[in-house]
Amino acid sequence: MSACTLNQHLIERAVEFHGHWCPGLAIGLRAGEYALNHLGRAADEEIVAVVETDMCGVDAIQVLTGCTFGKGNLLFRDHGKMAFSFYRRSDGQGVRLVFDRARLDQAGDDFAELNQKWLRNELDPDGEARLMEMRQERTRWIMTAPLEEVFTAKTPDFAMPRPARILTSLTCDQCGESVMESRTRRLEGRTLCIACFEARDKWL
C-alpha cells in the first residue's frame, strides 16, 4: 500500500467538517483510510471505533468511517495518545493504529523546538513562517507515506465494545432531572445524578 488512496471528494468533506486543513486531520484521514481498506465502512454500527485522543484527527474518522458519537459507535478513551482502534462486529476483526509523534520530530531539524516556542507564543514571524513550512512538509509526508510507515498496527487491547443499549431513565432526587440509570449514584437511599452527587458538599 502506498500513497493515500482516498478520493479528493472524501478528503474535502472531512476538511469542511473539521473547519481547516492540519497535520492532525491528515493523521485521522490515513487512519480512516486504513479502516475502510481493511474493515469497510460503518453501516448501522457494523464498525466501532475507539479513539484515545479527542483532537483534530477524530473528525476525519467520523466522516470517513461513519463511526460517530451520536450513533454510539465512536468511543473516546481519554489516554492522550494518537491511537485509533477499529472493530468489525460481524467477525470480531480489529486493529489498533498507533501514530508515533517522534516520526514528525526525527529529521534532525528544530521542528519540536519551534512547536514548543509557538505554543508559548514566543516565535518571531521568521520562525513562524519556518514552522508553517515544516508543518506542510510533515502533512505531505503523512498523506503520501505508505500506511505501514505512518502507523504501527497492533492488536487492540480492549475487548470489542458492546452495542449501544437503550437504558432506563430515573429521576434524580435532588435536581429532578431525568438521568440514565447507569449514570446514577446512590447516597443514603436517594438516587442522584452525577452532577448532584459531585456537588453533595454544597447541599448536604
Among candidates 87, 32, 98, 96, which has minimal Cα distance to 59? 32
CB 5 within 8 A of CB 33: yes
Crossing angle (nearest 10°) for helices 23-38 and 57-65: 30
**Of 165 and 203, which has the nearer Cβ to Zn ion?**
203
- Among the listed ranges 54-62, 65-73, 105-113, 138-146, the one in contact with Zn ion (CB under 5 A) is 54-62
Please state the closest distance from residue 54 (CB atom) to Zn ion, in A. 12
Q: Is 53 in the site for Zn ion (CB under 5 A)?
A: no
**Rounded CA gap, 196 and 192, in Å?**
6
DSSP H helices, the chain, are 8-18, 23-38, 57-65, 102-105, 111-119, 125-144, 147-150, 194-198, 200-203
- Among the listed ranges 33-41, 68-76, 136-144, 166-174, the one in contact with Zn ion (CB under 5 A) is 166-174
**Rounded CA gap, 191 and 171, in Å?**
7
**Of 47 and 143, which has the nearer Cβ to Zn ion?**
143
**Rounded CA gap, 136 and 158, in Å?**
34
Q: Is 50 in the site for Zn ion (CB under 5 A)?
A: no
Please state the closest distance from residue 47 (CB atom) to Zn ion, in A. 23
Among the listed residues 11, 56, 97, 142, the single contact to Zn ion using CB under 5 A: 56
**Of 24 and 94, which has the nearer Cβ to Zn ion?**
24
Q: Is 31 in the site for Zn ion (CB under 5 A)?
A: no
Local structure of 191: helix, strand or coil: strand
- Among the listed ranges 55-63, 101-109, 135-143, 151-159, the one in contact with Zn ion (CB under 5 A) is 55-63
Please state the closest distance from residue 62 (CB atom) to Zn ion, in A. 13
Q: Is 82 in the site for Zn ion (CB under 5 A)?
A: no
Among positions 168-197, residues that touch Zn ion (CB under 5 A) are 172, 174-175, 193, 196
Going by their DSSP bridges, the two strands 47-51 and 151-154 should be labelled as unpaired
Q: Is 42 in the site for Zn ion (CB under 5 A)?
A: no
**Rounded CA gap, 134 and 115, in Å?**
10
Binding site for Zn ion (CB under 5 A): 22, 24, 56, 172, 174-175, 193, 196
